[in-house]
Chains A and B, each alone.
Chain A
Amino acid sequence: MSNTKFILGVYEDEDILLSAITNIRTAGVKIHEVYSPFPVHGIDDVLGYKRSKLSIVAFLFGVLGTSLALTMQIGMMGVDWPMIIGGKDFIPYPSFVPVIFELTVLLAAYGMCFTFFIVSDLKPWAKPRIFDLRITDDKHVMAIDLDQNKIDVAKIDQILKDNGASEVNKKTFDEA
């Protein structure tokens, strides 16, 4: 059993939040994560997050879809059971285009979405840490993990308030 203690800064406005993040990070405080009710533009830059690589994942799954569709159609029509249909070739590439396109899109979309679910730990049985019930309503919450910061709690408190936090709360999670 270990307890994880967090200090939470609650913000009302996304623009105040953005400048607060920059100031707090320059003050040397490590931010665990920021939670928002909607996507805030430019928040990944100020938090120093790199661009997601999910688009590359989509491309790779798309390539897999293309090759799967080609292999399937050539294998079935050209190798396993060749048939003359309307005098066409056994492997009529133009006829394969629609199925290649559809399977490319299907695998790219599903491959990317399921990768997203896995890396973000999204699943129906997930038990999320809910820092504040108002995060999914109208409040932005900045969570600071006390174990990761050597700065005094009262000082962090003051930094959050100085940077426009409307409330400062504490939350402890008991984790096995």
Chain B
Amino acid sequence: MSSESVIREPLITGGKTVHDVTEDISRRVEEKPTKLWMLAMTISLGLLAIGAYTVFLLLWEGIGMWGLNKTVGWAWDITNFVWWVGIGHAGTLISAILLLFRQRWRMSINRAAEAMTIFAVICALQFPILHTGRPWLAIYWMFPLPNTFGSLWVNFNSPLLWDVFAISTYFLVSLIFWYIGLIPDFATIRDRAKNKISKSIYGALSFGWDGAAKTWSRYETVALVLAGLATPLVLSVHTIVSMDFATSVIPGWHTTIFPPYFVAGAIFSGFAMVLTLMIVTRKVYKLEDYITIQHLEMMNIVIIITGSIVGVAYLTELFIAWYSGVEAEQYAFLNRATGPYWWAYAAMMTCNVVSPQLFWFKKIRTNIAATFVLSIVVNIGMWFERFVIIVTSLHRDFLPSSWAMFYPTFVDVGVYVFTFGLFFTCFFLFAKFFPVINMAEVKSIIKTTGEKAK
């Protein structure tokens, strides 16, 4: 028998029973698509279509359609890539690290957060694939596959190749982690299904799950070991992404602080995106009893911590640039803060360092509207962080004669829009056809932390 201190706030409110959990979550999968959902889906598909046109132009005409020049050879493409990968850090962090720490508030949000992770990583992958210009050949440029050049292999000294392995492993492991969690819930929907088609579809998706104690016992071992494997994996992914920069010799990039600083930034932006999506989902699906103010507050606390780590990292970078005595390094940071891109630097500082500090006030971190606005502000800030790191470090290179500015073209913008369309199309499909909350896990805590148990 397990019990929990009465002082703790219930995680699931509204006096829900185990059967209520099934009803509340499955109903969303079984009902006909609402008008609101149709509208949201139309907008997402519209964005996807507009974006797809620019992707077509990019592939037809070539990478010259982007605003890159001889000096700034990396700009929006990799900014967007790092931004999306960063967002993709929250899901597996919630399901893996918080599982190891036995944080039960994760159970109401892990399913949607993991889905968001997977879709964000898919969006991120578009950029390295598209930037090759000829994606149909990219498979053997990126992976060590035998080819007709000898075989000429990929270079394992390159952090870009480590990135290929890190991101694809992260994607695959997050996917199976998410899917294994979905199997028991698909079985619930299968057993409730009224018509033959959904019975056979959810029957196939549930892999013949029967809820046997032996299978549950194995399932729990699998979840625990996967969490143990995914925990270092989450931390490794953004570490390796940061090495794309840190292992180079560009002033402003060549810093050993990058791995922890990038990982904190990734968790920061990922939680912000989870908040943005969950606040809308809980409102539309009326899940206020499952995703309570307490859940939002917990996520806001994670945002304060990671936001502060990011702030300290910014200041450390400035201090070390000055303290190192390396003129090129000092100039890179002076130029970031006061050069032609000062506005991007100011936006980054305001959104990432100042705005999350507002969450120290309990009134603000338990206010839904304020949380929603700040979660978007954080993601704008994190986009600017990557833009600042990438573009300001490149645009004034070693020869003053080649100094340049970067101006995005409509194709730069269009490809970004494409990934937004892709992300929201995937997310809305998920929200309609998959159970958005992990029913089996929430059921297992109803008796100890539901409102009736208190």
- Seen from chain A, the residues whose Cβ lies within 8 Å of a Cβ on chain B are 13-15, 18, 33-41, 43-44, 47, 49, 51-52, 54-55, 58, 72-73, 76-77, 80-81, 83, 85-86, 88, 92, 95-96, 98-99, 101-103, 105-106, 108-110, 112-113, 116-117, 119-131, 133-138
Query: Across the interface, do B180 and A113 meet the contact criterion of CB distance under 8 Å?
Result: yes
B212 to A112, Cβ gap below 8 A? no
Could you tell me which residues of chain B, from 19 to 65, have a CB within 8 Å of some CB in chain A? 19, 22
Min CB gap A106→B, angstroms: 4
Q: How far apart sit A34 and B218, CA to CA, in the bound complex (Å)?
A: 14
Residues of B within 8 A of A81 (CB): 150-153
Q: Are B191 and A136 in contact (CB under 8 A)?
A: yes
- Are B155 and A85 in touch, CB under 8 angstroms? yes
Q: Is the CB of A55 within 8 A of B225?
A: yes
Residues facing A in B218-253 (CB within 8 A) are 218-222, 224-226, 229-230, 232-233, 236, 240, 243
Sorting the interface of chain B by its residue count into under 10, 10 to 19, 20 to 34 or 35 or more gives: 35 or more
**Per-position binary interface string of chain B over residues 157-197, scored 1 when its CB falls under 8 Å from any chain A CB and 0 otherwise:** 10101100110010011001100100110011011100000
Residues of B within 8 A of A (CB): 1-2, 17-19, 22, 144, 150-157, 159, 161-162, 165-166, 169, 172-173, 176-177, 180, 183-184, 187-188, 190-192, 204-205, 207-222, 224-226, 229-230, 232-233, 236, 240, 243, 440-441, 443-444, 447
If A95-B156, A96-B156 touch, does A34 touch B213 (CB 8 Å cutoff)? yes
Report the Cα distance A98→B330, complex, angstroms.
31
Q: How far is the CB of B103 from chain A (nearest CB, A)?
A: 17
B226–A85 contact, CB under 8 A? no
Q: Is the CB of A120 within 8 A of B204?
A: no
Asked whether A122 lies within 8 Å of B183 as measured between CB atoms, the reply is: yes
Provide the bound-state CA to CA distance between A86 and B248, in Å.
Answer: 12
Q: Roughly how many angstroms separate A40 CA and B311 CA in the complex, as a whole number?
A: 43
Q: For A113, what are the chain B residues with a Cβ–Cβ distance below 8 Å? A: 176, 180, 222, 226
Please determine whether A55 and B221 come into contact, CB atoms closer than 8 angstroms: yes
B208 pairs with A121, CB closer than 8 A: yes
CA distance A124 to B206 in the complex (A): 7
Give A124's nearest chain B residue, CB to CB.
B204
> Given A40-B213, A43-B216, A137-B19, does the pair A123, B207 have CB atoms closer than 8 Å?
yes
Task: Give A121 Cβ to nearest chain B Cβ, in Å.
Answer: 7
The 3 A-B residue pairs with the shortest CB-CB distance, nearest first, are A126-B208, A98-B162, A138-B18
> Does more than half of chain B's interface fall in helix, strand or loop, or is it mixed?
helix
CA distance A117 to B441 in the complex (A): 20
CB of A134, distance to nearest CB on chain B (Å): 8
In the complex the two chains form, is B218's CB within 8 Å of A123's CB? no
| Residue among A37, A52, A127, A133 making CB contact with B440, cutoff 8 Å | A37
A125 adjacent to B204 (CB under 8 Å): yes
Residues of A within 8 A of B177 (CB): 109
- In the complex, A51→B191 CA distance in Å? 29
Contacts of B176 in A (CB 8 A): 109-110, 113
- In the complex, the answer to whether B153 meets A112 with C-beta atoms within 8 Å is no
Which residues of chain B come closer than 8 Å to A47, judged between CB atoms?
213
**When the two chains form the complex, which single residue of A37, A121, A123 contacts B443, counting CB atoms closer than 8 Å?**
A37
**CA–CA, A101 to B222, complex, Å?**
20
Tell which of A117, A120, A121, A126 has the most Cβ of chain B within 10 Å.
Answer: A120
- Out of A37, A102, A112, A120, which one reaches B225, CB within 8 Å? A112
Known interface pairs A38-B441, A51-B221. Does A109 touch B210 (Cβ–Cβ under 8 Å)?
A: no
> Is there contact, CB below 8 Å, between B217 and A77?
no
Query: 16 new A-B pairs (CB below 8 Å) besides A98-B162, A113-B222, A137-B192?
Result: A15-B1, A37-B22, A55-B221, A76-B144, A76-B154, A80-B151, A81-B151, A85-B157, A102-B233, A110-B172, A124-B207, A128-B208, A136-B211, A137-B18, A138-B19, A138-B443
A105 near B229 with CB under 8 A, answer yes
B210/A130 in contact, CB under 8 A: yes
- Please name 5 pairs of A and B residues whose Cβ atoms are closer than 8 Å in the assembled complex, sorted by A: A37-B188, A76-B153, A102-B233, A109-B172, A109-B173
Using A76-B144, A77-B156 as known contacts, say yes or no to A39 and B210 having CB atoms under 8 A apart.
Answer: no
| Chain B proximity of A65: nearest CB distance (Å) | 10
CA distance A127 to B208 in the complex (A): 6
By a CB distance below 8 angstroms, the chain B residues around A137 are 18-19, 22, 188, 191-192
CB distance from B347 to the nearest CB of A (A): 32
Return the chain A residue nearest B184 by Cβ.
Answer: A136
B153 x A122 contact (CB < 8 A): no
Q: A16 → chain B, closest Cβ, in Å?
A: 10
Query: By CB atoms of chain A within 10 A, which of B183, B205, B212, B440 has the most?
Result: B212
Picked from A43, A52, A127, A128, the residue with its CB within 8 Å of the CB of B218 is A52
CB closest residue in chain A, given B446: A38
Cβ contacts under 8 Å, B207 to chain A: 117, 122-124, 126
> Closest Cβ of chain B: how far from A52's Cβ, in Å?
4
